[in-house]
Structure 1
Amino acid sequence: MAHLAQRTFEPLNIAVLTISDTRTYDTDSSGQTLIDLLQAAGHVLVERDLVKDDIYQIRATLSRWIADPRVQVVLTTGGTGFTARDNTPQAVQPLLDKHVEGFGELFRQVSLAEIGMSSLQSRALAGMSNGVLVCCVPGSPGACRTAWTQILHSQLDSRTGPCNFAPHLKAQAGQAIEACGARP
């Protein structure tokens, strides 16, 4: 596996969407947590938005970003619980070309140590659409931090072996990311 040592970091273009009926940009600590973490890891924030927990507002923003040639990853926070206003999974799933089946399961597993059986009430999910990875996590700063540190940080890092999501994302100009297991 000597070829893994030759991989270089490729920053990804990431958009962050906060889904909330109550938060504003000034009070959006979850979205800000994701932004701080992705930028600290060397990635680029290309857009940020905040929408009400409304299926059609969520879909409108996601559809625009999925079609945007600059956006490679969308991280959403909020709307993944079981209240009547938690609509993120219903809004996102029809937009996905492929589902990342293990994302929600893995998120609930790593959350178990932090919040116990309450992790069962998370409907975190992820999938691919038009070469864009869309990851939906709960709306607390702790959940965002857990998702980033335990899953996303390594899976969005082109150096992570043997596999990561970077080679499956739409390429940016001048960017060539090796496929999983490919040799340079």
Structure 2
Amino acid sequence: HVVHGFLDTNPAIREQTVKSMLLLAPKLNEANLNVELMKHFARLQAKDEQGPIRCNTTVCLGKIGSYLSASTRHRVLTSAFSRATKDPFAASRVAGVLGFAATHNLYSMNDCAQKILPVLCGLTVDPEKSVRDQAFKAIRSFLSKLESVSEDPTQLEEVGCPCSLQPWHGRSRSQ
């Protein structure tokens, strides 16, 4: 069972198990992907003593985010990447920023503005230059997307946003 790899006492086994999910995630059924795998990823990302394992868990989550159900994405991605940006291991913080960037098309405009950008802006004063550099790149990307939609709300679908999560989509500007 692959699950045993997440619980192994050998850090190399745990890390390789996480990396293997890149290939296995598309083949997992919904319950195993959206419930079981997310439980293991949450535990590894928050509690594993090995920085590289926390980092690779975040990287993997960013790469498999599109396979998750919409409700799981909404519940898991923002909190997981935000948690990673507070990690003492600098590479994990970078992975959190890159996770947001890799999954940018999965968030509502409201989440971009009110949840993600505040997290990213906090990283502009990170002690590590690599974290700051990636934060600025991601901020520019999210701001550009927000500005484009603000100028022309018909672009909502063009920028790849899940319209059902848009608080203003379908309303007149006077509401």
Which structure has the greater CA radius of gyration? 2
| Higher RCO (CA 8 Å, separation ≥ 6 residues) | 1
